[in-house]
């Protein structure tokens, strides 16, 4: 994330810099909230997928792969829209400096106070552009 043409940072240098700055624990920054967001994200995605499939299917017995792709894409968008603030928190916690935030709640409070509620949806559109094909393919081939 912090690499540029001027500092020629590579993976090894990045790892060394992280350990130097925050110790070995810094290698797991943001992982706690990442683990916490997986269950609701997956539950919402699969629930939405089943509901959307049912709406698309109507009287049909089965769905074509294109219909499952559309249902999967919409389910991915639904889940990401709901959990996206947690994605922002995960990213901020991952990229923070040691001591910048005391935890998830502190990070959320500081973002809200300094940047407002809209900050929790920064990067939303590029994320959606990535999730549409990913979730569509993932769930279309899931079955």
In 3D, which of 43, 9, 47, 14 has the Cα closest to residue 29? 14
Residue 5, pLDDT score: 64
The average pLDDT across 37-54 equals 96
Domains contained in the chain, CATH given? 29-142 (1.50.40.10)
Mean pLDDT throughout 78-104? 92
Q: Above 70 in pLDDT, residue 1?
A: no
Instruction: Enter the pTM of the model.
Output: 0.80
pLDDT greater than 70 at residue 59: yes
Higher pLDDT, residue 74 or 24: 74
Distance between CA 30 and CA 54 in Å, rounded?
A: 36
Alpha helices in 23-142 (DSSP H): 31-57, 65-95, 104-115, 124-142
- What pLDDT score does 8 carry? 72
Tell me if 31 sits within 8 A of 107, measured CB to CB. no
At residue 2 the predicted structure's pLDDT band, cuts being 50, 70 and 90, is low
What would the mean pLDDT of 72-83 be, rounded to a whole number? 97
* Confidence label for 4 from pLDDT (cuts 50, 70 and 90): low
Query: Is residue 91 exposed (0-12), middle (13-18) or buried (19+ Cβ within 10 Å)?
Result: middle
For residue 9, name the pLDDT band (cuts at 50, 70, 90).
confident
Give the integer Cα–Cα distance in Å for 64 and 80.
Answer: 24
């Amino acid at each position: 994330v912090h690499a540029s043409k001027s500092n020629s940072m590579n993976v090894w240098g990045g790892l060394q810099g992280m350990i130097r700055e925050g110790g070995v624990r810094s290698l797991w920054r943001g992982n706690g909230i990442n683990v916490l967001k997986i269950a609701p994200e997956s539950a919402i995605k699969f629930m939405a997928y089943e509901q959307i499939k049912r709406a698309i299917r109507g009287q049909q017995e089965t769905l074509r792969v294109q219909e499952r792709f559309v249902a999967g894409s919409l389910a991915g968008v639904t889940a990401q829209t709901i959990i996206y603030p947690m994605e922002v928190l995960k990213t901020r916690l991952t990229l923070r400096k040691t001591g910048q935030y005391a935890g998830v709640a502190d990070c959320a409070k500081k973002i809200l106070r300094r940047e407002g509620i809209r900050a929790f949806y920064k990067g939303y559109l590029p994320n959606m552009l990535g999730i549409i094909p990913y979730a569509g393919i993932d769930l279309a081939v899931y079955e």
